Amino acid sequence: MKHYIALIHKDAESDYGVSFPDFPGCVSAGSTLDEARLFATEALNLHIEGMIEEGESLPDPSSLEAIMTDPSNRNGVAILVDAPSVTPRSIRISITVPEDALEEMDAYAKAHGLTRSGFLVRSARDAIHSKR
């Protein structure tokens, strides 16, 4: 799981504002620090979800040192916010297998609580990783 740095800002007569240097335009606020942190997580999740829907790639998280070298960030308090797990989209494919092999795969998958697709993906990944 990735973690991104959020900066909490507080002006004298305002709520706590939250911004994400790695995601310009991703901002949030809360009337308490706990609320600001909660809403920051929600804002980051929605922002990342939108980027994925648009086919944009996510930036690598910046280091605290890199963020704090920007003078405009120095008046904020840095916190780490967990990014949502990004699940790759599934793609439907068509394959041809011998009927007896398909029956064996389906029986094995059912006995182990897997779908046919889940079994095939797990088997492929096991084969790939065992060759490394």
- Quote the CA–CA distance of 111 and 6 in Å, as a whole number: 45
- Identify which of 10, 52, 58, 61 has the alpha carbon closest to the alpha carbon of residue 33: 10
Q: What is the value of pTM for the model shown?
A: 0.64
pLDDT tens column, 49-65: 888 878 788 899 999 99
Is residue 1 predicted with pLDDT exceeding 80? Answer: no
Q: Is the CA virtual torsion 93, 98, 101, 106 positive or negative?
A: positive
Is residue 78 predicted with pLDDT exceeding 90? Answer: yes
What average pLDDT score do residues 71-96 get?
A: 86
Tokens of 85: 């797990």
What average pLDDT score do residues 2-13 get?
A: 92
Kindly report each contact of residues 125-132 with a partner whose C-beta sits within 8 Å and lies 24 or more positions away, as own/partner: none
Helix (H) or strand (E) holding 18, with range, is strand 16-19
pLDDT tens column, 90-120: 778 999 999 999 999 999 988 888 888 888 9
